[in-house]
Amino acid sequence: MVSTHKYFPYHLLKSELLRSATVLVSGTIIAQVISILLQPVMRRLFSPESFGIYSVYSSLIGMILILCSLRYDDTIVLPKSDKESINLLGLSLIISIFFNLIIFILVLLLGNRIVSFLNLPSNFPVGILYIIPAGAFLLSAYSSLNAWLIRRKKYFSVSLNKLIRRSSEGAAQISFALLKSFNGLIYSDLIGQAANVTTAAIQAKKFNLDLKLISITKLKYVFRKYSEFPKYNLIPAFMSSCSYLVPPIFINKFFSPETAGFFDLSKYLLSIPLALIASSISNVLLQRIAEKFNRKESFLTELRPVIYIVGLIAIGEVLTIMLFGEDLFKIIFGSQWITSGKISRIMVWSFTFNFIASSFTSIFVSMRKIKTYSVWQLIYFISILCLLFFKDLPFTDFLKIYVLIEVLCYIGISIVMFIMVYRYESSVIKS
């Protein structure tokens, strides 16, 4: 008789990693549902141009975020001692404060030139640029506090914080829409981030985050001990972030804010699996695999059911968009957004492969393979910059080249991860 232990459902039920990820995913789904349900209303109250500008704003914050803490926030879950972890959190926050002050000064000096360079419309207030450092700091602070909660395995708290963030942001969006504020999306985002940081700080303090353990001596120690992260991962991570966030800026500059708005909606809808599932799985993998790796234990058994689930979701997204994409956009968001439906049928392939790869890239951090991941990030960045050679093409052709570059890059990193895990598991078996 064949053991039931070999059946797929059994692995799903027994996987602690999958159960932890489910807690995060469930909370994230509830939080995202708020945002998703508001989208049909928001897309009718705000113009494609407004969403195009918001997309550029979000992209700028996303790129700054990577640099804020010099990647020290990624190290918070790694130390064996809580004291060392708390000092890494403190180091991340201190660096982020100083970095964003520098960004604020640059915006004060170069605000009008930045607006001109990004091809933002003439009615775009330069003052919006001034809040970008604040938005970047809030995101950076939340990333550090969130890492502490992940370290403490407080996945429910992480999910609750996301719910509070989306609720606050949604309420603000409705308020600014009623006030007919052109930049209401940007203000709402800032309010949501502030709520997120506040609740995360309260939760972190509740779960033994004692800032009194931070000292100058210990800060210097962890700065040196984990220096490989800024040395080998900062610039590559920034380039990787740019690779994902720069396309909306390119489209806004080479085509129009309206086209960027259509692209933004496609990107938003196709990113739902990334926002709902990939980030949660990645967070849990970071903690679980780091724990197993430190003990030189196998983690392949826990990875298998996660791989199955990710694969099924990816197939479901492709089939849904290819068969019903245009109709979905027209029915849900209105006829003015049908262009986004057409764009999505092209973009779905890049986002599907992105979703698959992104669910597992935290393996590089857990296994201390930062240099390997950095090489790929450099290749990815250079590949995306090649889009500059195609700026004179019609938008659809430009988009197809972008998708082809994305697919090839994510297939490449998936192969690298497979080889890396295979070699590690082989070494564990031999030992």
Looking at residue 145, its pLDDT comes to 92
The tens digit of pLDDT for each residue in 337-380 reads: 888 888 999 999 988 898 888 878 777 877 777 778 888 888 88
Most confident by average pLDDT, 38-47, 169-178, 190-199: 190-199
Q: Please, which pLDDT band fits residue 320 given cuts at 50, 70 and 90? A: confident
In this model, does residue 282 exceed pLDDT 80? no
The tens digit of pLDDT for each residue in 201-259 reads: 998 888 888 888 999 999 999 999 888 778 777 877 787 778 877 888 888 888 887 88
Looking at residue 90, its pLDDT comes to 93
Cβ atoms of 210 and 83 within 8 Å: the answer is no
- Which phi and psi (to 5°) does residue 230 adopt? -70, -30
310 token code pair: 């990710």
Q: What is the mean pLDDT of the chain?
A: 81
320: Cβ–Cβ under 8 A, 6 or more apart, which residues? 328
Quote the radius of gyration of the chain (alpha carbons, Å): 22
Q: Which residue has the tokens 């020290």?
A: 72
In this model, does residue 1 exceed pLDDT 50? no
Specify the higher pLDDT residue, 81 or 297. Answer: 81
Q: Which residue has the tokens 């303090």?
A: 205
Q: Which residues of 260-283 are buried (b: 16+ CB within 10 A; e: fewer)?
A: bbbbbbbbbbbbbbbbbbbbbbbb
In this model, does residue 192 exceed pLDDT 60? yes
Q: How far apart are CA 208 and CA 145, in angstroms?
A: 12
Q: How far apart are CA 320 and CA 316, in angstroms?
A: 6
The tens digit of pLDDT for each residue in 382-430 reads: 999 899 899 889 999 999 999 999 999 999 999 998 888 888 888 877 7
Average pLDDT for 172-185: 84
The tens digit of pLDDT for each residue in 89-142 reads: 999 999 999 999 999 998 888 877 887 776 666 656 667 788 889 999 999 999
Q: Of all residues in the chain, what percent carry a pLDDT higher than 90?
A: 20
Q: How far apart are CA 345 and CA 265, in angstroms?
A: 13
Looking at residue 16, its pLDDT comes to 59
Cβ atoms of 114 and 107 within 8 Å: the answer is yes
The SS3 call for residue 347 is: helix
DSSP 8-state symbol, 118: T
State the angle between helix axes of 16-45 and 300-333 in degrees (0 to 180), rounded to the nearest 10: 20
Least confident of 12-26, 42-56, 235-249, 281-295: 12-26
Q: How far apart are CA 282 and CA 122, in angstroms?
A: 41
207 token code pair: 């779960």
Looking at residue 6, its pLDDT comes to 44
Q: How far apart are CA 268 and CA 123, in angstroms?
A: 25
The SS3 call for residue 81 is: coil
Query: Residue 368, Cβ neighbours under 10 Å: how many?
Result: 13
In this model, does residue 13 exceed pLDDT 50? no
DSSP 8-state symbol, 393: S
Cβ atoms of 17 and 298 within 8 Å: the answer is no
In this model, does residue 12 exceed pLDDT 50? no
Cβ atoms of 339 and 262 within 8 Å: the answer is yes
Looking at residue 228, its pLDDT comes to 79
Of 144, 145, 120, the C-alpha closest to 132 is: 120
